[in-house]
Amino acid sequence: MKNYKRVFGILIVSLAIVFGTVFWGTTQSLKFDVFALEDSGVVLNANQETIQFSANDELYRNWQSQQTLKLDTYNTTEKLAPVSVVFYNSGNLIFTNEVTNINQQGIASSRSPRQTFKVNGTSNYATSDGETIVQNDVIKLQNRQYFLPATGTVYVDGVEVQTVTNPLLMIDKTGSVTLFENARKQRFLGHFVIKIDDTHVLDVSAETYTVGTNVIDLSQYGGSDNEKLVLNDEPVKEKEPEANKPSENTGGNSETPWWDSGSSANTGNSGSGNGSGSNNSLTDAEIQELLSKLPSISDIEALNAQIDLINSQISGHNVPKVSLIASMANVNDAVLQFSVNDADMTIIGYVAVTLEASDGTKVVEYFNPYDRTLTVEGLQSDTEYTISFAYKYDLGGNQGVVSQEITSDEPQYTVKTNKVKALTRTVASSSSSLNFDLWFDTSISNLSTGKATLTGSNGDVHTVNVNPNALNGEGASIAFKGLQEDTEYELSLEAQTSSEILVFTDLTSVRTDKAADLTDFSAEINAGNVAINYTFVANDYRVDSISYELQSKKLFSSHYLGFEVISSSANGAQLVIDDMNRERTITNIHVSVHATHLETGIAQTFTFSESVNLNYKNNATLIYDAETTAFKATLRELPYDTEFRTALEVMVGNVWQEVAVQNVMMINTSESVTFNHQKNDAEQYRMMVTDINGLPVSITHLEK
């Protein structure tokens, strides 16, 4: 019984695992709201990385409601943000989810997802269902993310930076702004404003839109968690140091404690603590003890609380405070802004800032505490760094130099560098060359070299140097020549900075054209002629002439039919059979194109063989009647009630010459023609039949 229960239990568990696995596998393939993208373009994924897509790639929602983009070219999927803007290369766009349109009167209305908003002019959009986006309105995607259908001038901290058109704007909680425009990303640290004109100003950092005298608070639409992340208390206004240098103030030589109100050191007090020694709630010994503990406190929150307590109790030189107030990371550098509260100029030398990666790699930079802003270069891309800093100060009064190190576990004291994407566009292709445009979706500092490599599926490798400045700017145009025809090539890029080598593989896969190709081939018998239609493509060649062969196979033998060319071009030909046999089945047509390479001048012949099944039956016969000394011909199965011209021809030298002509009206299914001409056994004869337009219908040789 126990064994039975054990087996039964194992069976139940096994079935549960099987059904669970089947259910999980099924959910992975479920797709909802599937939408085929109608054009190529770009979109930001959930990590704000730029993704290039192609026409017919699928946008869908999985069973967990995750917006997903399936890229057929790379056989991969990308997770998108809950609300994203899909930018087509044509200028049109779609939203992956419902968005809020805020007009210039502050009235909000929704715009539908997965509808193509076609651009009209520069910044007006409309769908086929009548939904519109009006220029100078604001589209709110989600908290701290906006799309501005307008052209305006960017100002950062009051300084004019650049002009933008239809930008996507993403505001970080720490205050930096990411701008995405024309498949390029830029990040700005500071107060970010876009001025459209004198009556339209979008304050991105404050999330307000001023239209005339009306100020619209954009953060209030659609619910909000737009509270910004404050890194520290507001900095106290400091006095400007002389000669922009830290003071070497020793605080005087009085033996009286320097924090006492009677100390001569208090002449330089900033006034942040205005109590006297007799009124302090802490004794001198207690203050001294607190001061002695400061160097052992590294946590910024605890340190600032202790400094505030001390400074509120003393009337001499205040303890300086250095805090990180904002940070912004690019690809391989970070911009840090500090608050330095040191009105008494007690900091000695420079502040040392350390950025440490998870693998222990450290980058150390120094800044003058009165500069407030530091750019740290030499970082690795797509890497998270922890920020810490250290400085020294001297409060005077023979207290000596104090070293202070500051760290924090708070998320605002970490910064992650961006992951850069290399984007590409195929500009031109031929059988032996490929041209591309290449650019980075965000700028890289200290970019020294660039190298693009094209690798063929047959092992053919080509490398060209790339202008690194162009990669950071409008894009680099590169050309590969001497490639193999009809070969799949993959493009990769290597770029070197002062801190790392960036490698971008599988940027795009492109197949070179065939050196020459014959497409859309068809052939038929038309009024006794063989009509051939085709399209000849050879971008690198000039067509000089085209020749043909008509092959007839029967069992194990083959025969090439004689013919004359009525007309011939790169798109087809009209051939009339010139053969002594009355019935043939044409099984193969060979087209030979004689061409010259446009660059090298080398002549080349391209031959294409097409299989056909054309039953050719000569619509005329020609015999010689010795009794009447006349040539007799019969025309059959030609268009009814149509006049044809028949001519008896004899070969003179290598040229056929007419010796007798008869016009025949086809009234019956067959008509007879007689040419009164004496036959010479040493000569060759044939009959040429043409229609009223002079086009040959058939060529019939004298039957032997």
pLDDT tens-place string over residues 567-624: 888 888 888 887 666 677 889 999 999 999 888 899 999 999 999 998 888 888 899 9
Q: Any idea where the domains of the chain sit in the sequence?
A: 1-26, 32-220, 248-416, 422-505, 517-576+583-615, 620-701
Beta bridge partners of 9: none
- pLDDT for res 510: 93
Q: Is the pLDDT assigned to residue 245 strictly greater than 60?
A: no
Q: pLDDT per residue over 282-323, tens digit each? A: 787 888 888 888 888 888 888 889 899 988 887 778 999 998
- pLDDT for res 570: 80
Nearest CA to 382 out of 479, 503, 201, 530 is that of 503
pLDDT interval class at 243 (50, 70, 90): very low
**What is the sign of the dihedral through the CA atoms of 347, 351, 352 and 353?**
positive
pLDDT interval class at 274 (50, 70, 90): very low
Tally of CB atoms within 10 A around 617: 15
**Lookup result for tokens 């609380």:** 305
Q: What is the DSSP letter of 45?
A: B
Buried b or exposed e, range 469-499, using 16+ CB within 10 angstroms: ebbbeebbebebeebbeebebebbbbbbbeb
Q: What is the DSSP letter of 51?
A: E
CA distances from 253 to 174, 249, 263 (A): 44, 11, 10
Q: Is the pLDDT assigned to residue 484 strictly greater than 70?
A: yes
Q: Is the pLDDT assigned to residue 268 strictly greater than 90?
A: no
- pLDDT for res 29: 58
Average pLDDT score over residue span 338-354: 92
Phi and psi at residue 305, to the nearest 5°: -65, -40
Mean pLDDT over the full length of the chain:
84
Q: Helix, strand, or coil here: 297?
A: coil
CATH number of this structure's domain 517-576+583-615: 2.60.40
Range with lowest mean pLDDT among 17-31, 339-353, 400-414, 642-656: 17-31
- pLDDT for res 703: 78
Range with lowest mean pLDDT among 112-121, 315-324, 473-482: 315-324
Q: Is the pLDDT assigned to residue 252 strictly greater than 60?
A: no
Euclidean distance between CA atoms 441 and 471, whole angstroms: 9
Q: Is the pLDDT assigned to residue 253 strictly greater than 50?
A: no
Q: How much is the pTM?
A: 0.70
Q: Which CATH architecture has domain 620-701?
A: Sandwich (2.60)
Greatest Cα-to-Cα distance within the chain, rounded to the nearest angstrom: 155
- Note whether 248-416 and 422-505 share their fold: yes
Q: Which two tokens stand for residue 671?
A: 């008509």
Pick the CATH number of 248-416 from 3.40.50.10420, 3.30.465.10, 2.102.10.10, 2.60.40.10: 2.60.40.10
Q: pLDDT per residue over 116-134, tens digit each? A: 999 998 899 999 999 999 9
CA distances from 523 to 520, 581, 616 (A): 10, 20, 12
Average pLDDT score over residue span 452-456: 95
Q: pLDDT per residue over 148-186, tens digit each? A: 999 999 999 899 999 999 999 999 876 789 999 999 999
Q: Is the pLDDT assigned to residue 474 strictly greater than 70?
A: yes
Q: Is the pLDDT assigned to residue 256 strictly greater than 60?
A: no
Nearest CA to 373 out of 346, 411, 339, 413 is that of 339
Q: pLDDT per residue over 501-527, tens digit each? A: 999 998 999 999 888 888 899 998 876
Q: Helix, strand, or coil here: 47?
A: coil
pLDDT interval class at 250 (50, 70, 90): very low
CA 516 from centroid of its chain's CA atoms: 30
Pick the CATH number of 422-505 from 3.40.50.1980, 2.40.30.20, 1.10.1740.10, 2.60.40.10: 2.60.40.10
Euclidean distance between CA atoms 175 and 179, whole angstroms: 13
Average pLDDT score over residue span 533-547: 89
Which long-range contacts link 246-250 to residues 24+ away (Cβ below 8 Å)? 246/345, 246/347, 246/348, 246/349, 246/368, 246/369, 246/370, 247/344, 247/345, 247/346, 248/348, 248/394, 249/317, 249/344, 249/345, 249/346, 249/394, 249/396, 250/394, 250/396, 250/397, 250/398
End-to-end CA distance of the chain: 103
CA 499 from centroid of its chain's CA atoms: 26
What is the dihedral angle through the alpha carbons of 674, 677, 681, 686, rounded to the nearest 10 degrees? -50
pLDDT interval class at 109 (50, 70, 90): very high
Q: Is the pLDDT assigned to residue 255 strictly greater than 80?
A: no
Q: pLDDT per residue over 179-211, tens digit each? A: 999 999 998 988 999 999 999 999 999 999 999
Q: pLDDT per residue over 401-415, tens digit each? A: 999 998 888 887 889
- pLDDT for res 539: 82
**Helix and strand element counts for the chain (H, E):** 4, 54
Q: What percent of the chain has pLDDT over 90?
A: 48
Q: Is the pLDDT assigned to residue 227 strictly greater than 90?
A: no
pLDDT interval class at 275 (50, 70, 90): very low
